[in-house]
Amino acid sequence: MKRRLNFILNKNEVETSQHPGMSLLDYLRQEANLTGTKEGCKEGDCGTCTVLIGELIKDKLQYKSVNSCLLPIGDVNQKHIVTIEGLNREELTPIQTEMVDEGGTQCGFCTPGFVVSLSGYYLINDDYNTEDAIDSMNGNICRCTGYAGIKRTANKITQRLKILAKNNHSKIELLVGEKILPEYFLDVKEKLNSLILQKKSNITDDNLDFSNHFTISGGTDLMVQKWEDILKSDVSLISDKNVISGIKEENSKIIIGGATTASEIEDSPIMAKYFPEIKEYLSLFGSLPIKNTATVAGNIVNASPIADMTSIFLALNSTLTLRNSNSSREILLKDFYKGYKTLDKKENELLTLISFNIPKENSFFNYEKVSKRKYLDIASVNSSLFIDVDEDFINEVNISAGGVAPIPLYLKETGKFLSSKKISSAIIEEASEILQDEISPISDARGTAEYKRLLLRQLFYAHFIKLFPKLIVIEELV
Ligand SMILES: Cc1cc2nc3c(=O)[nH]c(=O)nc-3n(C[C@H](O)[C@H](O)[C@H](O)COP(=O)(O)OP(=O)(O)OC[C@H]3O[C@@H](n4cnc5c(N)ncnc54)[C@H](O)[C@@H]3O)c2cc1C
Ligand code: FES
Ligand code: FES
């Protein structure tokens, strides 16, 4: 399927009929001749390809940083793309000047990515602090500088802008005034509005029957694994389909749209209300640009045995809503996986919603992940636990385990054993033996089978030690 795409690239409106599955990075470098955006890993790991993408949402222009190497160009329709060229002015911007003065750049290959991420931080957020400014560059890697100069740059600019931001009503006006952004940013909202009005018919596509082609959501799995095949196939973009993003509470349930990103889950006040540690959990999931595009449906349907969002939603005993053009059905997530990458899902079905019961007063949740590196790494083993108790007795318990089977695993037998039991070290130890019979880890780059068994046991203990410190005697578990 080819179609016309219209978007604003820096300050110019552009139109292209390139394959919608072409990566934005390839388009920028090969078609638009904007080579300031660099190609490093092409797998979402290095951040040299970082750009900003701006979109009108409820009449508000909202930006986020993304890895252009993984973004299908079809997803930029009617949006604003900002590359390093779109931030440049005749003289260096204050961020670029500080990067030079503070020794934040040497060979310079990574520098455009860092400058785009940091400029994006000031454009995206309302309040500034150094820690968050530095964190906004967590998807950018530099092989030369050792990061100290880059951090000093973030600190200096943040200290300067933080004071000014308090007295200024329009963020874009402030950033233009401070020469962080060029003047054309003042007109982008109006330009996008008129683009949307003119080209409305270009993006309407309600046809859900798209078997025999790739369905791309955030692209953070597909564009890494299958980018060459994608270019030879028809593609459907989830952003064109009726799959919503967002999180709401309704009739004692929390309902999450399939297109909701990891960042939206991390920043959701609803999730924070019931899962106060959600930010901490999601801090273990990829970099900011990855989280800005990775969707919950992509995480579940990709069926990786170590998928992190899947681990959380398995333990919440979530229900999936699957829909095709004619019908819709519901299935429990724990029944969705039939074998390695084999799902109870027809080819033309879309995962549109994920829902689960709102936790009650006596319910507790915990998520644990162990990887070779604490941050920005995939799990060796992960596990989540949801538990509902009456006094010290277990009413209901759901436990997930990742990295220990060909599928994201729901530990049915362990849960069954624990049901109605009084929480104690002895019971938890006994349950951990049942758990060992439910798993079948293999040795691979993330550890030996024995190591993964041990890890899962420790994570299982960790759930109870964290949630019920008064009932568990650690010494009795080791
Ligand atoms: C650098 C990097 C770091 C990562 N870190 C982590 C991590 O820490 N933890 C983790 O769990 N994962 C991680 N991932 C993997 C990936 O980001 C996640 O699995 C992500 O949630 C996939 O979502 P997506 O929207 O990008 O999926 P896509 O790549 O768009 O799609 C994945 C699969 O899901 C299907 N699909 C997508 N949406 C739907 C839908 N609504 N209905 C039906 N089918 C659909 C697609 O057809 C495809 O088969 C990482 C990936 C990268 C590149
Ligand atoms: S090229 Fe490395 S993240 Fe895109
Ligand atoms: S300056 Fe060389 S990679 Fe960062």
| Residues 286 and 388 grouped into a single domain | yes
In a domain, residue 303? The reply is: yes
182 and 278 in a single domain? The answer is: no
d(CA 26, ligand 2 centre) in Å: 11
Q: Is the CB of 426 under 6 A from ligand 3?
A: no
| 217 falls within a domain | no
Judged against a pLDDT cut of 70, whether residue 446 lies above it is answered with yes
Q: Residue 91 C-alpha to ligand 3 middle, in angstroms?
A: 21
Q: How far is the CA of 70 from the centre of ligand 2 (A)?
A: 8
Residue 218 belongs to a domain: no
Where among 198, 215, 249 does a domain terminate? Answer: 198
- In degrees, rounded to 5, the angle at the alpha carbon of residue 23 between the alpha carbons of residues 22 and 25 is 135
Q: How far is the CA of 112 from the centre of ligand 3 (A)?
A: 10
Return all residues near 293 (Cβ < 8 A) that are at least 6 apart.
66, 67, 70, 71, 218, 219, 220, 261
Give yes or no for residue 207 having a pLDDT over 90. Answer: no
Distance CA 255, CA 332 (A): 14
C-alpha 310 – ligand 1 centre gap (Å): 11
Decide if 265 is inside a domain.
Answer: yes
Place of tokens 């309902």: 255
Atom 49 of ligand 1, residue of closest alpha carbon: 302
Q: Whose CA is nearest to atom 4 of ligand 3?
A: 142
Q: How far is CA 314 from the centre of its chain?
A: 17
CATH value at residue 374: 3.30.465.10
Q: CA torsion sign, 102 to 289 to 281 to 475?
A: negative
> Do 127 and 252 reside in the same domain of the chain?
no
Classified as helix, coil or strand, 220 is: coil
Is 382 among the domain residues? yes
Q: Which atom of ligand 3 is nearest to the CA of 105?
A: 1
Closest-CA residue, ligand 1 atom 45, reads 298
CA-38 nearest atom, ligand 2: 1
Locate the ligand 1 atom nearest the alpha carbon of residue 349 and give its number.
43
Domain boundary among 165, 198, 231: 198
Does residue 357 lie in a domain region?
yes
pLDDT in tens, 216-229: 999 999 999 999 99
Count of other CB atoms within 10 angstroms of residue 90: 5
**Domain final residue, candidates 168, 198, 228:** 198
Of 430, 426, 425, nearest to 413 (Cα)?
430
Q: Which residues of 183-207 are buried (b: 16+ CB within 10 A; e: fewer)?
A: eebeebeeebeebbeebeebbeeee
Computed over every residue of the chain, the mean pLDDT equals: 94
* Pair 191, 280 in one domain: no
pLDDT at 165 over 90: no
Say what angle helices 449-467 and 425-438 make with each other, to 10 degrees: 150
Side chain identity at 204, as an amino acid letter? T
Q: Which of 42, 84, 114 to mutate to test the pocket of ligand 2 (most atoms within 8 A of CB)?
A: 42
Ligand 3 pocket test target in 38, 39, 109, 151 with most atoms within 8 Å of CB: 109
Q: Do 175 and 115 have their domain in common?
A: yes
Please, what's the b/e burial string for 347-381 (b: 16 or more CB within 10 A of its CB; e: otherwise)?
ebbbbbbbbbbebeeebbbbbbbbbeeeebebbbb
Are 137 and 118 spatial neighbours (Cβ–Cβ below 8 Å)? yes
Residues with Cβ < 8 Å from 59, sequence gap 6 or more? none
Q: What angle do CA 413, 302, 291 make, to 5 degrees?
A: 105
- Evaluate whether residue 224 is within a structural domain: no
pLDDT value of position 209: 45
Ligand 2 neighbours (beta carbon < 6 A):
39-42, 44-49, 67, 69
Closest CA to 254 of 143, 135, 360: 360
Q: How confident is the model at residue 2 (pLDDT cuts 50, 70, 90)?
A: low
Count of domains observed in the chain: 2
Nearest CA to ligand 3 atom 2: 107
Query: What confidence score (pLDDT) does residue 74 get?
Result: 95
> Could you tell me if the CB of 109 is within 6 A of ligand 3?
yes
CATH of residue 86's domain is 3.10.20.30
Alpha helices in 283-392 (DSSP H): 288-293, 296-302, 308-315
- Same domain assignment for residues 191 and 247: no
**In angstroms, what is the span from residue 224 Cα to ligand 1's centroid?**
10
Give the single-character DSSP code of 171: H
pLDDT tens for each residue of 91-124: 999 999 999 999 999 999 999 999 999 999 999 9
Q: Which residues line ligand 1 (CB under 6 A)?
A: 43-45, 215-222, 224, 238, 243, 258, 285-286, 290, 293-295, 297-299, 301-302, 307-309, 350-351, 378
What sign results for the dihedral spanned by CA atoms 435, 437, 442, 448? positive
Ligand nearest to the CA of 70: 2
Bridge partners, residue 257, by sequence: 353
For residue 293, being part of any structural domain is answered with yes
For residue 29, pLDDT beyond 60: yes
What contacts 24+ positions apart, CB below 8 Å, involve 164-167? 165/126, 165/127, 165/128
Residues whose CB falls within 8 Å of the CB of residue 63, separated by 6 or more in sequence, listed in order = 52, 53, 54, 55, 80, 82, 120, 123, 124
pLDDT digits (tens, 9 = 90+) for 243-267: 999 999 999 999 999 999 999 999 9
Do 247 and 181 lie in a common domain?
A: no
With a pLDDT cut of 90, the percent of the chain lying above it is 88
Going by C-alpha positions, the residue among 145, 118, 119 that lies closest to residue 134 is 118
For the whole model, what pTM was predicted? 0.95
* Atom number, ligand 2, closest to the C-alpha of residue 40: 1
Query: Which residues make Cβ contacts (< 8 Å) with residue 222, sequence separation at least 6?
Result: 214, 216, 230, 298
State the average pLDDT over residues 234-241: 90
Cα separation, 226 vs 220, in Å, equals 10
* pLDDT number for residue 200: 54
Rounded to the nearest whole angstrom, what is the distance from the C-alpha of residue 351 to the centroid of ligand 1? 13
Q: What is the pLDDT of residue 240?
A: 87
Say if residue 245 is in the same domain as residue 188: no
Please state, in angstroms and rounded to a whole number, the distance separating the CA atoms of residues 222 and 208.
Answer: 19
Quick one: 260 and 146 in the same domain?
A: no
Instruction: Please tell me the residue having the least CA distance from ligand 1 atom 37.
Output: 298
Ligand nearest to the CA of 322: 1
From the alpha carbon of 225, which atom of ligand 1 is closest? 29
Supply the range of the domain harboring residue 310. Answer: 241-477
Residue type (1 letter), 219? G
Q: Are residues 168 and 253 in the same domain?
A: no
Q: What angle do CA 323, 329, 331 make, to 5 degrees?
A: 115
| Test site for ligand 1: of 220, 336, 384, most ligand atoms within 8 A of the Cβ | 220
Residues 164 and 303 placed together within one structural domain of the fold: no
CA of 354 to the centre of ligand 1 (A): 15
Q: Which residue has the tokens 């005034």?
A: 177
Direct distance between the N- and C-terminal alpha carbons of the chain, in angstroms, rounded to an integer: 59
52/149 same-domain check: yes
Q: Give the closest ligand to the alpha carbon of residue 210.
A: 1
